């Protein structure tokens, strides 16, 4: 039960849009942010409905443990025994009843029943009606966290294994603060395209389109969207004035510190967010080799370059081990923004907390070590190797870099300057923490190849 099944061509309401995303996330088809954007573009809903769809989708994912706990206390049918769409209908309805005071209980229940009728049958509609009315009539109070990992995991909707790790590393208060921050909607951060002007002039240009921003306190080219309609946001993006990007990601590119005229490698370029930023920092002078092994990501890379007016980025279908084939003399700086668990970006991709299991961390770390090893061969003598991952887990960060340095005496760790980062007490690199820095969570380290 609960396979992906056919999705409706065009969602007719905010709740239908949210349901489609929740159902497809449950099936593991993609990340919620990507799916939500695509579904909303297809649906063409009014701005208020788009905002509601985003709230229902992300809120339901962020608070899944609390929602499931409440549903399990009033339903005789286990959630896992229900079809995926009906499970999503119940979770979305319970989320509204438990967390959205502005939506009347009667509306939350009746709309959920209508969805159950459309995507289920009479029996599932009756089940949804009965379960949600029990939640509305006598909602169970989620137990206080009681300063235990079990309590924090339930009250702040994180997997217990992850909370236990954070309590061991950070202590109860800081682990709780991190979990709370992961359940708060992050600011809508954008990078202003400095190839089109100064940050101030670009901000003025997009304000004329209807996008009002406030400057970032962490990155000169960063900004937070204060007010904008979906149409205005899309116009600013399509015309090449801005790119959505977290400030933590911008700080990673700034640590690479590329100079105009240099040769830079982005060894795990993906769709090119950091590669485009590196090109802007280089004033579009020099060479940025954007390597990846997924053709669709490189196609997106090329589209972003065209949209932003970037001409020095070269998308290359290359694994890190093949970089020296195209750069026999080496590169001045190599960025390895390695694939990872993503446990530092739970504010934006809340479903990751339910997808990743602890045993996967070791496998991911081994892959990261391999990529770093391969990419290091492309660093010229005196050049810089920067390693970054959007996770907070030590296996994927300090341990990877420490093992690399132990195996490569030709590289020395380089200190990370600036007050923003939290240094690793005994080891290379530094962290950015959502609850301390207001950014996505990152680990980053720099290694300099000896001359």
> Taking the CA of residue 423 as centre, how many other CA atoms within 13 Å lie in the half-sphere pointing to its CB?
11
Whether residue 348 contacts residue 315, with contact meaning beta carbons closer than 8 Å, is answered with no
Count helices and strands in the chain by DSSP H and E runs = 20, 13
Whether residue 385 contacts residue 405, with contact meaning beta carbons closer than 8 Å, is answered with no
Cα separation of 359 and 33, whole Å? Answer: 25
What is the SS3 assignment for 365?
helix
Closest CA to 427 of 437, 413, 442: 413
Whether residue 427 contacts residue 396, with contact meaning beta carbons closer than 8 Å, is answered with no
Tokens of 215: 């400057």
Whether residue 137 contacts residue 144, with contact meaning beta carbons closer than 8 Å, is answered with no
What is the SS3 assignment for 90?
helix
Cα separation of 170 and 429, whole Å? Answer: 18
Whether residue 277 contacts residue 348, with contact meaning beta carbons closer than 8 Å, is answered with no
Q: Which residues of 13-39 are buried (b: 16+ CB within 10 A; e: fewer)?
A: bbbbbbbbbbbbbbeeeebbbebbeeb
Catalytic residue set: 390
- Neighbouring residues of 276: CB distance < 8 A, sequence distance ≥ 6: 243, 304, 305, 308, 310, 313
Cα separation of 248 and 251, whole Å? Answer: 5
Closest CA to 61 of 13, 19, 8, 105: 19
Cα separation of 3 and 298, whole Å? Answer: 30
What is the SS3 assignment for 341?
coil
In the numeric block, the tokens 């195209």 are attached to: 326
Tokens of 432: 């950015």
């Amino acid at each position: 039960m609960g396979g992906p099944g056919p999705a409706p061509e065009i969602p007719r309401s905010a709740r239908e849009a949210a349901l489609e995303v929740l159902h497809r996330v449950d099936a593991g088809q993609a990340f919620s942010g990507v799916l939500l954007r695509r579904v909303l573009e297809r649906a063409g809903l009014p701005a208020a409905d788009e905002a509601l769809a985003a709230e229902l989708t992300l809120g339901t994912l962020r608070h899944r443990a609390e929602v499931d706990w409440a549903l399990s206390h009033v339903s005789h049918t286990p959630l896992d025994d229900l079809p995926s769409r009906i499970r999503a209908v119940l979770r979305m309805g319970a989320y509204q009843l438990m967390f959205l005071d502005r939506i009347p209980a009667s509306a939350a229940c009746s709309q959920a029943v209508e969805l159950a009728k459309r995507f289920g049958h009479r029996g599932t509609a009756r089940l949804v009606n009965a379960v949600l009315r029990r939640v509305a009539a006598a909602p169970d109070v989620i137990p206080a966290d009681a300063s235990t990992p079990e309590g924090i995991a339930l009250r702040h909707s994180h997997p217990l294994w992850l909370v236990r790790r954070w309590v061991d590393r950070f202590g109860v208060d800081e682990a709780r603060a991190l979990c709370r921050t992961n359940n708060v909607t992050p600011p809508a951060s954008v990078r202003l395209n400095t190839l089109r002007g100064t940050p101030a002039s670009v901000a003025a240009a997009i304000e004329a389109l209807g996008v009002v921003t406030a400057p970032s306190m962490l990155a000169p080219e960063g900004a937070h969207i204060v007010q904008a309609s979906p149409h205005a946001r899309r116009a600013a993006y399509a015309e090449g004035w801005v790119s959505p990007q977290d400030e933590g990601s911008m700080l990673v590119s700034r640590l690479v510190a590329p100079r105009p005229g240099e040769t830079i490698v982005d060894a795990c370029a993906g769709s090119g967010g950091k590669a485009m930023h590196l090109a802007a920092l280089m004033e579009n002078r020099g060479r940025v080799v954007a390597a990846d092994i997924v053709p669709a990501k490189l196609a997106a890379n090329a589209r972003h370059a065209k949209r932003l007016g970037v001409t020095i980025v070269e998308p290359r279908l290359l694994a890190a081990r093949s970089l020296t084939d195209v750069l026999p003399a080496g590169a001045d700086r190599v960025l390895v923004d390695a694939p990872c668990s993503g446990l530092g970006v739970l504010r934006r991709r809340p479903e990751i907390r339910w997808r990743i299991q602890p045993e996967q961390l070791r496998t991911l770390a081994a892959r990261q070590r391999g990529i770093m090893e391969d990419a290091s061969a492309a660093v010229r003598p005196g050049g810089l190797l920067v390693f970054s991952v959007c996770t907070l887990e030590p296996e994927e960060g300090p341990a990877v870099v420490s093992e690399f340095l132990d195996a490569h005496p030709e590289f020395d760790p380089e200190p990370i300057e600036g007050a923003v980062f939290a240094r690793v007490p005994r080891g290379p690199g530094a962290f950015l923490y959502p609850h301390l820095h207001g950014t996505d969570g990152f680990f980053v380290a720099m290694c300099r190849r000896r001359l």
